[in-house]
Chains A and B, each alone.
Chain A
């Protein structure tokens, strides 16, 4: 076994691409482990954890770390690194330019694009977003870890110029029928959404889609927009934009409760619009996202359907197309784990990729029991790595650990589908669930937020997760309540 470590100063690729590179290279015969990453403190920790000795480097350097079964494997491994790196970059859909634009500003010079999507690391996002505003374009800032003062500065400039800043930390949006960031595919329809929460917006859109109601536009504003500092600058612009959109018949604002001073102003603005505005304000003791979806349906005069589930006693799937494995393993089995005695503490371990879904679950659980909910999409856990909806590794690692904890009675998960998310989340998650079920006999409950039109396909994903032994719900709130029920039963 030999290690090969090299620092490549000045080489850069985004963390998502490098993740793919690392995977491709690790698959080369003779390569035991491979990590190609920017030398950020977090990645250095990961490399250190893998047992690689890394020479001095800066976060702008690329590290290529290879563990080889034989020294002979080095050449093919390095060739694979080069090929994989080459494959990540420059796709020539803008073939007229032989020199790719290096800044948002120069990219905007050569195009009539009407929107900019910024997802560079947070400390660099302000400058790229400002380029968009300087060129009179709306901008969606997917990047997180953008300081609040910078958010305020951006949004003030945008407000002065009648432009919209979505984000920072804006996970999803739908503009002109196009999904941006993590985006579910839904049919066009009468609902306009202003969302301060990414996965909250996705849950709402997917529930509405399941009820046959489409969305005209979903504008993200970022989680801080309705706080005192930002004062709802983007929410105001978004509300006005949706009010002017003839396709929008009903506007819903999905957010944590706004700061008191901001709430009054936003409500006043909402009253002045010609389109009715409903507020789905999330938080302890408030209606959950599913209740918010039902509220929208009620406002549109549409009956609430039964929200779909898979692998449960009342599963829609069972009625339509009974699934073999479900029949083999009746749900009762899952309530009585066979391979180890029931957990005495009856704790739910919630391992989430969606921030709003995680906090919704925590709120429904309340503070009465010592259940834990981890949001792997939290700013602190995404520094220097891709979002868990793209890179499942971190959660998968924790899944096994949480399952091995004797205090764990139920595992509660979420799966978020759509553009931008993993192409096939069930591919890695289903085997992990199967293993948890087999080794520990633990019940696993998961939400699966998606639509049939999503690239991954809601039913396809949900059925695979159910086949692995999970109970699957479209509604995260319903999944959480089911987990509470199971945890209670395990005591």
Chain B
């Protein structure tokens, strides 16, 4: 007998220990209230184990490469008056301050209004189209607003040809994605469209596909968790692109025709924005998770996203359905004079990083930022270890040195969340709740607990249809 696992009465575990048998004790606790019957139905689903293995394998097989940088109008077919936003679907009336602020700023950027303040009326009247980024293969940090003129990173899994998209990162502080729309915010965005985007496009064309998944693996060993810390990743990207950016300027007569000053500006903008790589980490994660979508019977979460009002998840086995609940307030540190009363509830598609097994799930590898997100180093180690309890597998490519190179916990399992009550740990920035304010802090947040039992109930309903002849097994 090489060992026994016990779940339940401690007494029997002790009896085995008394017989000198190696015992692993499950620290078992009852599942989330009201989930017992659905957990049984899903556990009995004959498709479940294979479906989850398939989902996890598909996710891990994806190799994300940066293949292009181009305007949203071109690669997403966005037209004047069309806007994408972070999180599950939402209408203007229910939109939070930062989302409204970002949409107003984007409307001015697109020339729909002269003054962002005028845009509220247009959105309120329903004259403009609002859709989630996720419905267009896209992810957006914080408010996640994408409008036709914004330039997008284009990521591709070369084996499948599947693509995902994300806008370019504007930096921290007063920025559109945090709901700020002052003239300097819009000025920066115009420069990004006129100069940064085209420069990056030529550089990417020159160096060929950039291995984003590979950079992610390296940055995780350099103290980044790729959500709230992207410093190493940003510098590695810069290392890969800088020669091509310079060459672009050196070769006079090159199509884009940029001068030295513009290239220097671009280099210092990228190098000076520690979060620049976030907008590559996010679509890389989405590209991996999209490969795991729509596998009947799979209980794996393929998206977690927030629009500042609702927190939503999508699950592989339940297609495009969103399971939503109220977005929570983050717990963390505030910039300057800001305090908890200034913060908007959780917002952004950036929780795609946690969904893929980095960000908060890789907290152990980023001790440098544990204070910023309100914790200690032991907390960080414990967080990553705890996330293994709710994930299907680990990503051996994303190995954490301090945990003896254990892979990051990857593939959130709805059933495991419901069984343990452990919620995914998300590292996040905090936007001001008033439109126009911008970032007020950063911290830790979890999804609202109730969305996991909702998703589980939908999975259970499908499981029941796959068990012909057996009445649904119901506990007394």
* A180-B16 contact in complex given A94-B24, A103-B416, A103-B419, C-beta closer than 8 Å: yes
* A107-B33 contact in complex given A14-B9, A122-B475, A180-B16, C-beta closer than 8 Å: no
Is A419 touching B19 in the complex (CB atoms < 8 A)?
A: yes
Is A111 touching B39 in the complex (CB atoms < 8 A)?
A: no
Asked whether B218 is an interface residue with its Cβ less than 8 Å from the other chain, the reply is no
Instruction: Kindly specify which of B194-202, B325-333, B379-387 makes contact with the partner chain.
Output: B379-387
Residues on B with beta carbons closer than 8 Å to the beta carbon of A392: none
Instruction: Kindly specify which of B78-86, B143-151, B247-255, B466-474 makes contact with the partner chain.
Output: B466-474
Is A98 touching B382 in the complex (CB atoms < 8 A)?
A: yes
Q: Return the contact of B33 from the options A15, A60, A145, A386 (Cβ within 8 A).
A: A60
**Bound Cα distance A455, B11 (Å):** 14
Asked whether A339 is an interface residue with its Cβ less than 8 Å from the other chain, the reply is no
Asked whether A189 is an interface residue with its Cβ less than 8 Å from the other chain, the reply is no
> Could you tell me how many residues of chain B have their Cβ less than 8 Å away from some Cβ of chain A?
55
**Bound Cα distance A332, B422 (Å):** 65
Question: From A383, which residue of chain B is reached at the shortest CB distance?
Answer: B476
Is A16 touching B389 in the complex (CB atoms < 8 A)?
A: no
**Bound Cα distance A102, B14 (Å):** 18
In whole Å, how far is B435's beta carbon from the nearest beta carbon of chain A?
Answer: 37
Residues on A with beta carbons closer than 8 Å to the beta carbon of B7: 103-104, 107, 116-120, 128
Asked whether A123 is an interface residue with its Cβ less than 8 Å from the other chain, the reply is yes
Is A117 touching B18 in the complex (CB atoms < 8 A)?
A: no
Residues on B with beta carbons closer than 8 Å to the beta carbon of A153: 44, 470, 473
In whole Å, how far is B99's beta carbon from the nearest beta carbon of chain A?
Answer: 33
**Bound Cα distance A422, B293 (Å):** 52
**Bound Cα distance A93, B21 (Å):** 11
Asked whether A83 is an interface residue with its Cβ less than 8 Å from the other chain, the reply is no
Is B12 touching A420 in the complex (CB atoms < 8 A)?
A: yes
In chain B, positions 20-57 with a C-beta closer than 8 Å to chain A are 21-31, 33, 36, 39-40, 43-44, 49
In whole Å, how far is A153's beta carbon from the nearest beta carbon of chain B?
Answer: 5
Residues on B with beta carbons closer than 8 Å to the beta carbon of A122: 475-476
Asked whether B15 is an interface residue with its Cβ less than 8 Å from the other chain, the reply is yes
Question: From B44, which residue of chain A is reached at the shortest CB distance?
Answer: A153
Is A88 touching B15 in the complex (CB atoms < 8 A)?
A: no
Residues on B with beta carbons closer than 8 Å to the beta carbon of A97: 385
Is A101 touching B24 in the complex (CB atoms < 8 A)?
A: yes
- Encode A21-61 as 1/0 by CB contact (under 8 A) with B: 00000000000000000000000000000000000001110
Is A90 touching B27 in the complex (CB atoms < 8 A)?
A: yes
Asked whether A322 is an interface residue with its Cβ less than 8 Å from the other chain, the reply is no
In chain A, positions 58-114 with a C-beta closer than 8 Å to chain B are 58-60, 88-91, 93-94, 97-114
In chain A, positions 136-184 with a C-beta closer than 8 Å to chain B are 137, 142-143, 145, 147, 149-150, 153, 175-181, 183
Q: Return the contact of A149 from the options B5, B12, B13, B471 (Cβ within 8 A).
A: B471
Residues on A with beta carbons closer than 8 Å to the beta carbon of B18: 419, 455
Q: Return the contact of B416 from the options A58, A89, A105 (Cβ within 8 A).
A: A105
Asked whether A134 is an interface residue with its Cβ less than 8 Å from the other chain, the reply is yes
Asked whether A115 is an interface residue with its Cβ less than 8 Å from the other chain, the reply is yes
Q: Name the residue among B9, B27, B470, B471 with the largest chain A CB count within 10 angstroms.
A: B9
* A108-B1 contact in complex given A102-B422, A126-B473, A127-B419, C-beta closer than 8 Å: no
In whole Å, how far is B382's beta carbon from the nearest beta carbon of chain A?
Answer: 6
Residues on A with beta carbons closer than 8 Å to the beta carbon of B214: none
**Bound Cα distance A112, B3 (Å):** 7
**Bound Cα distance A104, B5 (Å):** 7
* A126-B381 contact in complex given A107-B7, A113-B4, A114-B3, C-beta closer than 8 Å: no
* A98-B385 contact in complex given A127-B40, A178-B16, A179-B15, C-beta closer than 8 Å: yes
- Encode A399-423 as 1/0 by CB contact (under 8 A) with B: 0000000000000000000011000
Question: From B26, which residue of chain A is reached at the shortest CB distance?
Answer: A107
**Bound Cα distance A130, B52 (Å):** 15
Asked whether B100 is an interface residue with its Cβ less than 8 Å from the other chain, the reply is no
Interface range, A side: 35 or more
In whole Å, how far is B388's beta carbon from the nearest beta carbon of chain A?
Answer: 7
In whole Å, how far is B21's beta carbon from the nearest beta carbon of chain A?
Answer: 5
Residues on B with beta carbons closer than 8 Å to the beta carbon of A117: 4-8, 12-13, 16
Asked whether A390 is an interface residue with its Cβ less than 8 Å from the other chain, the reply is yes
**Bound Cα distance A122, B474 (Å):** 12
**Bound Cα distance A94, B22 (Å):** 9
In whole Å, how far is A19's beta carbon from the nearest beta carbon of chain B?
Answer: 10
Residues on A with beta carbons closer than 8 Å to the beta carbon of B14: 91
Asked whether B420 is an interface residue with its Cβ less than 8 Å from the other chain, the reply is yes
**Bound Cα distance A59, B415 (Å):** 20
In whole Å, how far is B299's beta carbon from the nearest beta carbon of chain A?
Answer: 12
Residues on B with beta carbons closer than 8 Å to the beta carbon of A181: 12
Is A124 touching B24 in the complex (CB atoms < 8 A)?
A: no
Question: From B32, which residue of chain A is reached at the shortest CB distance?
Answer: A60
Asked whether B10 is an interface residue with its Cβ less than 8 Å from the other chain, the reply is yes
Residues on A with beta carbons closer than 8 Å to the beta carbon of B385: 97-99
Asked whether B2 is an interface residue with its Cβ less than 8 Å from the other chain, the reply is yes
Is B420 touching A103 in the complex (CB atoms < 8 A)?
A: yes
Asked whether A17 is an interface residue with its Cβ less than 8 Å from the other chain, the reply is yes
Question: From A113, which residue of chain B is reached at the shortest CB distance?
Answer: B3
Question: From A123, which residue of chain B is reached at the shortest CB distance?
Answer: B475
Residues of A within 8 A of B (CB): 10, 12, 14-17, 58-60, 88-91, 93-94, 97-124, 126-128, 130, 132, 134, 137, 142-143, 145, 147, 149-150, 153, 175-181, 183, 386, 390, 419-420, 455
30 contacts between A and B (CB under 8 A): A10-B421, A16-B9, A17-B9, A60-B33, A100-B26, A101-B27, A102-B419, A105-B416, A106-B26, A106-B388, A107-B25, A112-B3, A113-B22, A114-B1, A114-B2, A119-B6, A119-B8, A123-B475, A124-B28, A124-B39, A126-B473, A128-B28, A149-B473, A150-B473, A153-B473, A175-B1, A180-B16, A386-B9, A419-B15, A419-B16
Residues of B within 8 A of A (CB): 1-19, 21-31, 33, 36, 39-40, 43-44, 49, 381-382, 385-386, 388-389, 415-416, 419-422, 470-471, 473-476
| Interchain residue pairs A-B with the least CB separation, the first 10 | A119-B8, A123-B475, A113-B3, A419-B15, A100-B27, A176-B1, A99-B385, A120-B8, A102-B420, A12-B29
Given A180-B4, A181-B12, 10 more pairs with CB closer than 8 A: A14-B9, A17-B9, A91-B10, A106-B416, A107-B25, A116-B5, A117-B13, A178-B21, A180-B16, A183-B15
